[in-house]
Amino acid sequence: MTFNSPTEKHHYVNTMFARIAHRYDTMNRIMTGGQDRRWRKLLIQQAQLPPQGKLLDIATGTGDIAFEALRQHPHLEQVVGADFTLPMLREAKRRGGEAMRLPVSSPPRVTLPLSWSGADTLHLPFADNTFDAVASGFLMRNVTSVPLALAEQRRVCKPGGRVLILEIPRPADTWFGRLFRLYFHRVVPFIGGLISGQRDAYAYLPASAEVFLRPNELKAEMEKTGLREVSYTMLMFGTVALHVGVK
């Protein structure tokens, strides 16, 4: 799948996520065998949020990272889930109550410090140095400029805070990478078509990974943005990467 301009890609991504919003979670669980929840748990663990910290989950989609943050840290001061696809945010809002079954040990809070924001990740509507951690899950393949997205993530992060990126990198040229490609290019669009009725969306997914960065390349881009101590962990047999950098 190729785009003639950044505007065309931006529009496709936005409208495509709007079309699959109602089936997004079901398809995630099926595609990953339920492993996606484990990755988001790890992401929040690696965010090293202070007890009353602030988290921005950009491209929050249906809110899984934001919900996981409050599950692990019920006393955070602020969690913002931002996304430019309003039907995804609507799903997040709808799921809010159910997803927020907090641990029994945590005393109930009258209001959750959780808010949703319609925002483009390339122009975040937040002041410099606002958040203790800025996280994204499966966003970076979709943006029209990785350097600009990283610059925005770094800008709104506090000095000493963390930028975390969970993403599917370009598959490796190993025998397992080839096997994964087969699954990704043949099986995923087929199942995605059945579940969501939007086969093209699940053909775009592997196609966008094919033209995305390899893990060491994304690490280099993060360092170029000025993030330090950048490291990454490979998950799911090397098909998913979690990058972490410090501002």
Ligand X SMILES: C[S@@+](CC[C@H](N)C(=O)[O-])C[C@H]1O[C@@H](n2cnc3c(N)ncnc32)[C@H](O)[C@@H]1O
- Which residues are near ligand X by CB under 6 A? 13, 17, 59-61, 64-65, 83-85, 88, 120-122, 137-139, 142-143
Instruction: Fill in the amino acid letter for 114.
Output: L
Q: Using CA atoms, how far apart are residues 133 and 43, in angstroms rounded to an integer?
A: 11
Closer residue to ligand X (CB): 121 or 225: 121
CB of 213 to ligand X, least distance (A): 16
CB of 26 to ligand X, least distance (A): 12
CB of 27 to ligand X, least distance (A): 10
51 contacts 82 by C-beta, under 8 angstroms: no
Q: Report residue 197 as tokens.
A: 């009725």
Closer residue to ligand X (CB): 85 or 196: 85
CB of 101 to ligand X, least distance (A): 19
Closer residue to ligand X (CB): 66 or 227: 66
Closer residue to ligand X (CB): 59 or 235: 59
CB of 15 to ligand X, least distance (A): 10
Q: Using CA atoms, how far apart are residues 9 and 13, in angstroms rounded to an integer?
A: 6
By beta carbon distance, the residue nearest ligand X is: 61
Q: Scanning the structure block, which residue is given the tokens 């990058």?
A: 243
CB of 180 to ligand X, least distance (A): 18
Instruction: Fill in the amino acid letter for 133.
Output: A
Closer residue to ligand X (CB): 106 or 234: 234
Strands (E), the chain: 54-58, 78-83, 114-118, 131-137, 157-167, 228-235, 240-246
Closer residue to ligand X (CB): 36 or 159: 36
Biggest CA pair distance of the chain: 53
Residue 80, Cβ density class (10 Å: 0-12 exposed, 13-18 middle, ≥19 buried) = buried
